[in-house]
């Protein structure tokens, strides 16, 4: 903005324009945003969620919709279990599969839920993945002229909390 008061020419910096995450979404992402907004209820959270959806894998559109559907239709006991799990996991903190098994089994024990007897890793991982958008965490190891990705764990980057 130019100011010519008193014949002097000076510039003033206009206040920065806040570009919302919504504005950065593609047209296709905006369709998903508007589809999810009534369920999620918060504009910023919905935009962040949509920005984390991937073309395939655990965080794909069909999988995220399935997770949300499970959370929306959860029974009161399932909601209590989900809320207890939310409290045990921190966003942006890495967890190994062994840590996830330990946390899930502890929560199940505290809530007097039946223990998982078979497929422990798969069952606990499923409970964890149902509640969060996650990213795998890797370390790159260089061995001579070969580069390998070493899996370190999973990081919950967004909690799929559905407010009642």
18, pLDDT greater than 70 = no
H helix runs in the chain, sequence order: 27-40, 43-52, 61-72, 76-88, 97-110, 120-131
User: Mean pLDDT in the chain?
Assistant: 88
CB atoms near residue 127 (< 10 Å):
18
CB atoms near residue 58 (< 10 Å):
16
pTM across the whole model: 0.81
User: Both tokens of residue 25?
Assistant: 């979404």
pLDDT over 70, % of the chain: 87
Q: Yes or no: say if 154 and 131 are a contact pair by the CB < 8 Å rule.
A: no
pLDDT tens digits for 83-110?
A: 999 999 999 999 999 999 999 999 999 9
The pLDDT assigned to 61 comes to 96
pLDDT tens digits for 47-76?
A: 999 999 999 998 999 999 999 999 999 999
């Amino acid at each position: 903005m130019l100011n010519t008061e008193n014949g002097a020419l000076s510039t003033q910096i206009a206040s920065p324009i806040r570009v919302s995450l919504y504005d950065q979404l593609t047209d296709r992402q905006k369709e998903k945003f508007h589809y999810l907004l009534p369920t999620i209820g918060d504009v910023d959270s919905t935009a962040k969620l949509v920005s984390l959806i991937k073309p395939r894998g655990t965080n794909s559109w069909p999988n995220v919709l399935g997770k949300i559907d499970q959370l929306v239709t959860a029974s009161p006991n399932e909601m209590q279990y989900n809320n207890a799990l939310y409290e045990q996991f921190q966003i942006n903190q890495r967890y190994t599969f062994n840590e996830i098994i330990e946390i899930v089994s502890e929560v199940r024990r505290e809530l007097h839920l039946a223990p998982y007897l078979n497929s422990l890793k798969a069952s606990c991982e499923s409970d964890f993945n149902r509640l969060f958008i996650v990213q795998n965490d890797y370390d790159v190891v260089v061995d001579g002229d070969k580069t390998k990705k070493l899996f370190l764990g999973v990081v919950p980057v967004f909690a799929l909390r559905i407010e009642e």
